[in-house]
Chain A
């Protein structure tokens, strides 16, 4: 007689049980959330940008140190070989990673007035991984480069002090 059994439970108890249950579910959710992006989520992020277009390898140079001690500040420079004229220039540069909590690193939008298609910044890397840079040109073509980085001290996930 499960029905009568249900009715026997004090509503306050049931509420407490529900609260307990939902907080347990929340803890489980937090625990289960993937701690890092995967090469697949990076591919999905890249697809969001490039849609169905073909990405060719070349013209892009992705400079990062091959071995970094501290993943909290990794110098990164992306250079695209382009005349940077009104007719032929780089429109955007996108940088992606495989293993940070999310696949995007940064998007940079420039134009013919840049003169030189080069951007530099400092980024965080949570793990040893491969970075991908994609450049979108004014004619719509897409070019890419990858770089492998070995990280000894990871960024992002340490406890806040």
Chain B
């Protein structure tokens, strides 16, 4: 079971610019490495990341093998309303994980 780390401030004032930090545990196998016998280790990476804020997409990223293992992404958004952030990672071999975080905006 992959583990995620999400850092969203639990509270914010309306209009505040808040930083969101996310980390998803994943090997991010590049597909360019070889075993001792010379066989190529097949690519296995996360290719997409998406963040929705109360159902509306506020951030999206396309990932390539140049992302480090356990991809860390941080970005900003304006705190508009109380509600829920939904995070979604998708990748090779049908990889799909989601996480949520709630925020109270006053």
Contact = CB atoms under 8 A, between A and B. Distances in A.
Interface in B12-44: 17-18, 30, 32-36, 38, 40-41
Given A122-B71, A122-B72, A159-B35, A114 B65 contact: no
Given A115-B77, A156-B30, A159-B35, A101 B65 contact: yes
Contact of B66 (A102, A113, A158): A102
A93 to B, nearest CB: 9
A133 B37 CA distance: 37
A119 B75 contact: yes
A105 B45 CA distance: 13
Contacts, number: 109
B77 A114 contact: yes
Interface string B55-88: 0101111111111110111111110100000000
Contact of A116 (B17, B35, B69): B17
Nearest first, the 8 A-B pairs at minimum CB distance are A115-B17, A115-B78, A107-B62, A116-B76, A122-B68, A109-B60, A105-B66, A120-B74
Interface of A: 30, 72-74, 97, 100-102, 104-111, 113-125, 155-160
Interface of B: 17-18, 30, 32-36, 38, 40-41, 53, 56, 58-69, 71-78, 80
